[in-house]
Amino acid sequence: MRALVTGCAGFIGSHLTETLLDAGHAVVGIDCFNDNYGREQKLTNLRHVREWTNFEFVPIDLSQGDLLSFVQSTDVIFHLAAEPGVRSSWGARYERYVRNNVLATQHVLEACRTAPDVRIVFASSSSVYGDMEAGGSSEDAPTRPISPYGQTKLSAEHLCNLYRRECDLDIVCLRYFTVFGPRQRPDMAFHKFLRAALSDTPIEIFGDGRQTRDFTYVADVVAATIAAGVTPELDERLLNIGGGSPTSLLRVLEIVEELVEKRVEVEYLERGEGEVRDTWAQTARARDALGFLPQTTLQRGLGAELDWLVALLEGRPERLAV
């Protein structure tokens, strides 16, 4: 298989790229190194994949680059490139979210009109749901995003649905729930918690800590994403990808203390704008369609992220098994 991975230098994209290469596939990776976090970490994420002869890196801004030649020579497109983050989507950066989440997706889909047999897997987000309904969010739950980020991801989903219906493109949308693990972005909670614990500085919690998230380990997300790209004749085109076990941030803090073997100081701040209270994915549809069953516990996954962060801080970004 020849795969195209957008956002290949990012947190999930770099793991996806490595996994595809390990399985013997050829990968073209696209990334524009937008400034949502440091270029150095993104380059480090690509350190190992550059060693593969069947990996080609292309620095293109999807919102304006020419994609036709890449689309026409690929079998599966994994479209993970995006402008991430809820808090930073308010205010002056909103234009970047529109460009990198909506316009870039439209450009990818428009290019794919020349290659209608290509399977497209679009990485969406649980943020499209907004506040969770009782019993967890199914794919049929109302979509009521409460952040500009969630709104742009939902707009990109609508584009996918439009191009699938009107242009007969082969598109699958995956709604990721709170992904964590090695290479997590510096602005994400677990990265910040672990870094603070290692440096004996207070861990900041927005809210009372009782809010819950359906944390999903990156390797489980990658497995589901690849399955969505290679499973033929999929009847379902919208799938939740979540860990299936919502956990409070207070419990996460307990696990962090167990991992670093010391007490941590916590500073509670006001809830951030656009932050939902709870998330929980109903994943029966992904289980039936893709055989998706999360394999990694929260404690084991947090331990792997801690090992990665320690190695990163010590200047030895090793390739760690995920």
149 is catalytic: yes
* CA nearest to 41, candidates 82, 83, 9: 9
Pairing state of beta strands 238-241 and 76-79? Answer: unpaired
Closest alpha carbon to 259 in 199, 194, 167: 194
Collapsing DSSP to helix, strand or coil, 162 comes out as helix
SS3 content of the chain, % helix, strand, coil (to 5): 40, 15, 40
Tokens at residue 221, please? Answer: 């997300």
Q: Which residues contact 281 (CB under 8 A, 6 or more apart)?
A: 126, 136, 137, 175, 177, 214, 216, 240, 241, 242, 243, 244
**Tally of CB atoms within 10 A around 235:** 7
Determine which helix (DSSP H) or strand (DSSP E) holds 158, and give its type and residue range: helix 148-167
Among 129, 149, 163, 176, the active-site one is 149
Catalytic residues: 149
